[in-house]
Chain A
Amino acid sequence: GAGVSQSPRYKVAKRGQDVALRCDPISGHVSLFWYQQALGQGPEFLTYFQNEAQLDKSGLPSDRFFAERPEGSVSTLKIQRTQQEDSAVYLCASSSYRDSNQNYGYTFGSGTRLTVV
């Protein structure tokens, strides 16, 4: 597609429910990132994939958060047993670069707004 697509656009979950957020990166993009953005704050890094390999998951806030990209294209961010503090916008970004000379001009999706009630 022309851009990074994320679905659903909005998600309301009851506390304790599991959720899955989907990211369709730009076709052929090697690098994929997930960020979390709390209300009024800048985005914060969660995890990074290069193709299907998850090279950095240092930003995942707890073991309730899990991300995968099994075929190196679509990625899913899963949150188990959601809590109110998980309420945020979850952003996905992709890039065609993967090496040390990459341009950090990533393309972001519009995000999924998760509200835990």
Chain B
Amino acid sequence: DAKTTQPTSMDCAEGRAANLPCNHSTISGNEYVYWYRQIHSQGPQYIIHGLKNNETNEMASLIITEDRKSSTLILPHATLRDTAVYYCIAIGRGTSYGKLTFGQGTILTVHP
């Protein structure tokens, strides 16, 4: 699976959009981009995933560049409860199961 690179930490004001970048320049054609987050003292929580089209669900939006070398997770109206570590993971389909490689992630702090 492709290596991903994320900033160590980011800040965001409550009510504003949080834009979390992820670089995955070596991603291959069959690899999806998955985002998870981990709130303090909890297990990771699945947020969203995509292949090449932009995706949106009730939690977030995922914007993937046309060359698929990078992506951005957007939390449109961040709240204090969105303070967490966010992990960007590239993983290929077509394997018998998915072994997630989490990396260090981005610590997002939402301020009042």
User: When the two chains form their complex, are residues B96 and A110 in contact, meaning their CB atoms are under 8 A apart?
Assistant: no
Judge if A18 is at the interface, Cβ distance under 8 Å.
no
Interface residues on B, range: 20 to 34
Determine the distance from Cα of A92 to Cα of B94 in the docked complex, in whole angstroms.
23
User: When the two chains form their complex, are residues B43 and A102 in contact, meaning their CB atoms are under 8 A apart?
Assistant: no
| Chain A contact residue count (CB 8 A cutoff) | 31
Which residues does chain B contribute within 8 Å of A35, judged by CB atoms? 100
Judge if B81 is at the interface, Cβ distance under 8 Å.
no
User: When the two chains form their complex, are residues A102 and B98 in contact, meaning their CB atoms are under 8 A apart?
Assistant: yes
Q: Which of B17-25, B63-71, B72-80, B101-109 contacts A (4 or more CB under 8 A)?
A: B101-109
Which residues does chain A contribute within 8 Å of B34, judged by CB atoms? 104-105
Question: Interface digits, B39-54 against A, CB 8 Å rule (1 contact, 0 not)?
Answer: 0011111100100000
Question: Interface digits, A87-117 against B, CB 8 Å rule (1 contact, 0 not)?
Answer: 0000111000011111111111111000000
**A contacts, CB < 8 Å to B:** 4, 31, 33, 35, 41-45, 48, 50, 55-56, 59, 91-93, 98-111
Show 17 residue pairs from A and B whose CB-CB distance is below 8 angstroms, ordered by the A residue.
A33-B100, A41-B104, A43-B44, A43-B100, A48-B99, A56-B97, A91-B43, A92-B43, A98-B97, A102-B93, A102-B98, A104-B46, A104-B100, A105-B34, A105-B46, A106-B46, A111-B42
**B contacts, CB < 8 Å to A:** 32, 34, 41-46, 49, 85, 87, 89, 91, 93-105
